[in-house]
Amino acid sequence: FNEHVYIWTTIALCIIFILLILLSNALLIWKNARELDFYSRPKNQIILSLAIGDIIVVLFPLSVLVRNFLPEDYQPNLMSCSLAKTSETYMRFLLHFVYGLGLVILAIELLCRNKIHDMTADKTGKIFVSIVLSAIPWLLGLIFVLPLCLANIDMTTCSSVQTLDQAEAAVVISVILPACAAVVMCIVVYCHELPPAQYQQTTATSTPMVTIMTSHSNSPLQSGRGFTAAPTFGYHPGYQYPQQPIPGQHPLQQYPQQMKNFQANQPCVAEQPNVAQQPLVAQQYYATQQPYVAQQPHGLYVQNDAGITLSKYRREKSRLLAVAIVFFLLVVPQAIYQLSYALNPTRTKMERRITATAIHDFVLWLMVIRSFVTPLIMYCYSDV
């Protein structure tokens, strides 16, 4: 076991994960900030608070860990006990509690968003609700997790008088319960389908329309409409079209006999509605206007007032389930290691130091990898 190689390997891994965590969470924040009504949407505010929590891992616990592994000129024992204990509590307990509870709230918010149109119509009220929902995991963590993990610790001598039950309760409450609750709640949401009344498939319908076009030109061929059809009344013997109208005289007064012959030769048809109050001058055309039919791709669901679209709902719940499963797989091994070995007084001590160190560091880096992987999943499944 080469301790020098181990120290520099740990420092290199810390630097690599610092860069990766910063990159993935910065991308997630940038992509969510581009959405409309970013500040008034609870989903975006909760994701923002979780991303900030992962960034704090970079700025606080990992930086402390790098400082703790610096070469011989630095004495790790000189690090303040409060700094070491606080960073360890945040990275091993508080962050997992906040993240698991945040996933539960995201799942509940997804269901409520499809059941309720708007919890409040006031934009200021929406912003207030979003901030409160995003702050709930942190407030509960400060109330329950920190006192449970830091109780009975003397910061001056850095000695702990915690009982075994207190240490086990801290692991179960802050890691195992939130991880299990997140997976169960996301599975429930994933199995829940929107009822038919909350989404609809649009279909294009066409209604034929008949447009009556009347021209007052003095020639039957000068209608001025490029798409008009032939006259509906046909040719009548003895009828002559007027060459020039007599000024100041109504058309029916000029040609009374011709209009009587024209009306007598017409078949009995349903009376057309009166579409104009202008005089009839024997140039009335019927043109069928082709309706405009909107082309709608098959399988596309359009959002209505009852909720979001079915495809978007399925994408969101799939993202939540994937994040919850990855979160569970990456943080629960550390809790199992704590309960089964580190906090087990009857454990069998490993003979080789390298084996114990390898297992301890493996579950530690799984926790750190979570802060990089889950934001990346949220970024790839984002709606923008």
C-alpha 250/C-alpha 274 separation (Å) is: 19
Secondary structure of residue 58 in the 3-state scheme: helix
Q: Enumerate domains of the chain plus CATH numbers.
A: 3-194+309-380 (1.20.1070.10)
The CB density around residue 213, as the number of other CB atoms within 10 Å, is 18
231: left (phi over 0), alpha (psi -120 to 50) or beta: beta
pLDDT (tens, 9 = 90+) of the chain, 384 residues, equals 577 888 888 889 999 999 999 999 999 999 988 877 777 888 889 999 999 999 998 888 898 888 877 755 555 555 677 788 888 899 999 999 999 999 999 999 988 887 765 555 577 888 888 899 999 999 999 999 998 888 877 777 777 777 888 889 999 999 999 999 999 999 999 998 766 544 444 434 444 444 444 444 444 444 444 444 444 444 445 545 555 555 555 554 555 555 555 455 555 544 545 544 555 444 544 444 555 444 544 444 344 434 447 778 888 889 999 999 999 999 999 999 988 887 777 776 665 667 778 888 999 999 999 999 999 999 887 665
Secondary structure of residue 105 in the 3-state scheme: helix
Q: Are 301 and 201 in contact (CB under 8 A)?
A: yes
Q: Which amino acid is present at 64?
A: V
| Cβ contacts of 182 within 8 Å, gap of 6 or more | 99, 100, 101, 103, 104, 107, 324, 327, 328
C-alpha 134/C-alpha 43 separation (Å) is: 8
Question: Taking Cα atoms as reference points, which of 203, 375, 363 lies closest to residue 295?
Answer: 203
Cα dihedral 129, 133, 136, 138, rounded to 10, equals: -110
- β strands within 254-362, DSSP E: 284-289, 301-302
The CB density around residue 43, as the number of other CB atoms within 10 Å, is 20
Q: How far is CA 219 from the centre of its chain?
A: 64
